[in-house]
Amino acid sequence: MNAYPDGYYWNIFPTTRTPDPMPVYDEAAPRLWPGAVLDAPYTVPLQRLRSHSLRLSDGHRIGVTVGGRGIPLVVAHGFSFAGGLYVQSLSRLASMGFRVLAVDLAGHGGSTGLGVRGWDVGAYRRFLTQVLDELGVGRAVFCGHSLGGRLLAEVTAAEPERAMALLLVDAAVGQAWDDLAAFACWNPALLGVVGATLAADTLQTLFLTGDQGLKLQGLAIPQAMANAFAPWRLVAPALSVLLSGGSAVTLRRLKEAGLPVFVLHGERDQVVPVAAARDAARRAGGELVLVHGAAHSWLLEDPETLRSIVAELLGDGLGTACLRAIADVGLDPATVSLAEMEQAFYAPDALALRLGPAARREELRPSQEPRFSWSRVA
């Protein structure tokens, strides 16, 4: 494992204030594409993010958390969570030359459910592609955790031309997970065990991780209250994956498309077994990154670890994918500007470019070493 660059950061939580129609960016802030941070000591201040509530053309309301500038990084959260819960990890990624777009999945956070369509995993895939189209997002890097990983795998397998690369973080894919899901459909008791395991993992993250847990509690409590008052919203998303028939075809299509896939997985994940991650990486022709000593929600437990892994991946496979995408649209990666990237990877006057807070400098605080170590398995 390579050491990650030293630097200084601060952490800003999202606000609910209505954003400016067009953010005004701090011209003194660095202009970086993903990977350029590896060329010098990493001292880029953390970007702020802001959560928005939007209405799609069909009337569907969605929640999306946005921040940063550069290549689109589409993020999908885990079951019962919301995009804003990941703001600490996302602010670090938004500081690496990505424009982070964390979408609340249908029936989660600020996004309304899909009604009678909510039992079909394909409906969630179509929902996400509609969101991307209406936000004006072109080709992007995709990163999904747990349920979100499964749904983004479906999106990119169906339309690989949308993706530069796919990061699956403890995603609900792979044979071991598929077997567990299939058995749970016929055994409600096992379904309860899976739910209890996920709940235990969440509680451990919130209450047994010291100061970090206290920070997460402030983000998680509103979402937990919303789930408590409307628990039925979560039934359809859960069953859509359990009844989807497995992920083997999806993973095979990813491999056939030649899409760079990176499978990041906690070594002690009790929700999605690590055997599932090994199988998913093999079937998708991707690279497995094992996070040692980590459970299912390690990216919430320690926001520095995900950033550090992504920084390392930008040094080769992920960085190569970004460079290739820049070159594919006729731009020179050595001289490309943020304005040129935004013109290439977003629709003209894209809504995605009009969301988010204005970049500004804040008081810096020393960064911390990642809590977890990891190893990469070819």
Catalytic residues: 146, 269
What dihedral angle (degrees, nearest 10) is formed by the CA atoms of 200, 206, 212, 216?
Answer: 130
Question: Cβ distance 149 to 76 under 8 Å?
Answer: yes
The Cβ of residue 369 has, within 10 Å, a number of other Cβ atoms equal to: 12
Category of 99 on φ-ψ map: left (φ > 0), alpha (ψ -120 to 50) or beta: beta
CA 139/CA 76 separation, integer angstroms: 16
* DSSP string covering 149-192: HHHHHHHHHH-GGGEEEEEEES-S-SHHHHHHHHHHHH-HHHHH
Question: Cβ distance 66 to 100 under 8 Å?
Answer: yes
Question: Cβ distance 226 to 238 under 8 Å?
Answer: no
CA 287/CA 280 separation, integer angstroms: 9
Token pair recorded at residue 338: 């943020």
